[in-house]
A and B are shown apart, each in its own frame.
Chain A
Amino acid sequence: MERSGEHDVGPQRYTFARAVLPARIKSLPFFRLAAIWEAFRVATGSLRANKLRTALTLMGIVVGVTAVIAVVTIIKGLDQTVAQTFSSQGSTVFTISKNPQIIKSREEFVKFNRRKDVTHEDAEAIERLCSACWRVGIAANAIETVKYQDQKAENVRVRGIEPLTMFDIDGVNIDVGRIWTESEGAAGRDICVIGPDMLKNLFKDAPADRAVGQEIRISGRPYVVLGVLEPLGSIFGFSRDNVVYIPYATYQKAYGARRSLVVFIQVPAAEQLEAAEDQVRTVMRNRRNVAMGEVDDEGFALETQDVFLNLYGAATSNIYIVTIGVAAISLVVGGIVVMNIMLVSVTERTKEIGIRKAIGARRKDILTQFLIEAVVVTALGGALGVGTGFGLAYIISALIGFPLLVSVASAVLGVGVSSIVGIVSGLWPAWRAAKLDPIEALRAE
């Protein structure tokens, strides 16, 4: 009955009485890897054995994570689009106009309409008096239907600009052909530079050089195409290439001189923006006879692109809040479902728990087993949610037209948060399992 070694198992004689416990059990780590792997095996086995139940249990988690992933991915894509769009003009440009881009109320609308138009003279004064300004230009827009032979493009932005640096301020570049010369522009000739959408809509996707030299008609007035611009892409599904640039002098001839225009001012670097804004504001207040400090109405609108970015930021942060609410509710409901199923699972497997305890599983072994089962369910739900969330974002991005940014961080977050839901909702059932009395558990059927 002598045993020569701790695990010396003779092939013939199977003796197992022993005088001294081996040292290994005195230094057991808190969590044993083997026990955790066993728990994982058991968890996946039991989930496989109850496929429908597992699927239904997953649902709440999947919905919650899908919502978060889809919205985060979509908004990240939009963010990038917005950032690219506005960096083409950059944060070095601001405008003076009669009406601001966003009118919040009827009263404002009435008030703004009483203002004096912003004129060519205003722009000249700014150019003359503002030392911090780098480029000054004017632009006026009209929305028109453009025709070429029997082809027709609707809702085209016809943009009259002066001087030629307005192309640079707008951040557009010529792709094929040329822009007009200064003398051509000053003469108010019927010439234009078209955005790439015009090729598609008027010239049946013909190569750009085929459009150059052709004559298009806007409100019955013929314009010769001098060049085609490089594409800028679209934002929120609205193309920024659906445009025709004409000289401002020509615009005046076609649409009259009495329309209010927008003055564009560019500074060399963002740091000079504030100084330039102050100078321009002073110039404009003087021209409108508005005393400093009087705040009721300056008589003009000075805006940077921040206006739009702020509006966009406010809109997306609202979307984020709503989504987080939806996700939180579905994760809580999902967690309750998981807890319920885990309680069922513990009851069903009382006998198994008894067997495991009888052969030496400690409380923490049983606790770990059921916690891991809960976490496997919810992490699986989280992973599926990440998948469907990206899928949904992919479909929506393809429909609206913005880049799909698959972020690893949001995927990790989705699985991580759902795992935490698993731990939280699995804790109580697992604790109940862990403190079962082995004798009573063995008696269960």
Chain B
Amino acid sequence: MSDATLTLSPTENVIRPQAAPAQVDGHDPSMLISMRNIWKTYQMGTEKVHALHGVSFDIPRGEYIAIIGPSGSGKSTLMNLIGCLDTPTQGQYWLNGKNVSEMDDDELARIRNQEVGFVFQTFNLLARATALHNVELPLIYGGVSSSQRHDMAKQALKAVDLSERMMHKPNELSGGQRQRVAIARALVNHPSILLADEPTGALDSHTSMEIMDLFERLHSEGNTIIVVTHEHDIAARAHRVISIRDGLIEKDERLR
């Protein structure tokens, strides 16, 4: 595919929060996330389906950003790419100065372990493990020594106000508490980004607000937070909203 035609894609028209737009082919080293002309193509039988049609954007460190879009918009694909669960078919993705778009499985696993903290809609905690052990898990795969691991996991649980429930298993916790365990797990390895996929999708509205408040607090403490959602009132809590439709960035607006 020719770069010339691609650079004319609608992504060129996005409103960049930064004054000087970086080159489309290069990346801006000051940015935490720098995506350039990202395509994701799936082979469905004989047909090629483009989930993303050349998406480019930057996210600076410390931003609180929402990615919003209806189902089938390519928003989940984008989230998987940001979270390094997948690699783009084409295009470049720099995360914290590293080009992750051409990494192999194990390198991606390492990046996920060190750079990304996932928060899922359905919490995705290990049912048989205690809250503490769930939070320790990323450190286990990160090769952190056991005493240090304990301290770090306890700190993370304390940061989400769950110090009292460390030894409880997920089925002994409420939905909001489970999501807070998941957030502690996401935080524990000091990742570059906290990537939340519909974090309030399985929670009632009151608990949802608690979780969103927690995100706000974490952001105010300097963390970079990316929330992927289809709910506008959740997206409205963010400082910047990227709207995805049909595999393209439809809108990129700064709210505050």
Contacts and interface: CB of A to CB of B under 8 A. Distances in A.
Q: Do A and B come from one complex?
A: yes
Interface of A: 1, 3, 7, 9, 11, 13-19, 21, 24-25, 28-29, 32, 34-35, 38, 45-46, 49, 351-352, 354-365, 438-439, 442
B171 interface: no
B183 to A, nearest CB: 10
A54 to B, nearest CB: 15
Given A17-B32, A25-B142, A358 B83 contact: yes
Interface of B: 32, 61-62, 80, 83, 85-86, 96, 105-106, 109-110, 112-115, 117-118, 120, 124-126, 128, 137-146, 148-149, 151-152, 155-156, 158-159, 185, 187, 189-194, 218, 221-224
B142 A360 contact: yes
Contacts of A34: 139-140, 143-146, 149
B105 A38 contact: no
B135 to A, nearest CB: 10
9 contacts: A1-B62, A13-B221, A15-B222, A17-B32, A17-B192, A17-B222, A32-B143, A358-B118, A360-B141
Contact of A9 (B106, B115, B126, B155): B155
B94 to A, nearest CB: 14
Contacts, number: 131
B156 A14 contact: yes
A24 B120 CA distance: 28
B91 to A, nearest CB: 18
Contacts of B137: 38, 356, 359
A16 to B, nearest CB: 4
A363 B112 contact: no
Contact of B158 (A11, A46, A354): A11
> 6 closest A-B pairs (Cβ-Cβ)?
A360-B113, A16-B190, A14-B159, A1-B222, A360-B141, A9-B155
A24 B142 CA distance: 9
A97 to B, nearest CB: 74
A3 B192 CA distance: 12
Most buried by B among A45, A359, A365: A359
Contacts of A7: 144, 148, 151-152, 190
Given A360-B138, A363-B106, A24 B224 contact: no
For A15, A16, A439, which residue has the most chain B Cβ atoms within 10 angstroms? Answer: A16
Contacts of A9: 151-152, 155-156, 190
B86 A439 contact: yes
Contacts of A16: 117, 187, 189-192, 194, 223
Contacts of A32: 140-141, 143
A362 B155 contact: no
A341 to B, nearest CB: 18
Nearest to A46: B128
A17 B106 contact: no
B109 A361 contact: yes
A416 B36 CA distance: 54
Contacts of B190: 3, 7, 9, 16-18
* Most chain B CB inside 10 Å of its own CB: which residue of A18, A34, A360: A360
B114 A21 contact: yes
A21 B140 CA distance: 17
Given A35-B140, A362-B110, A355 B126 contact: yes
A356 B85 CA distance: 12
- Of the candidates A17, A38, A49, A439, the one having the most CB atoms from chain B within 10 angstroms of its own CB is A17
B222 A13 contact: yes
A28 B117 CA distance: 20
A133 to B, nearest CB: 76
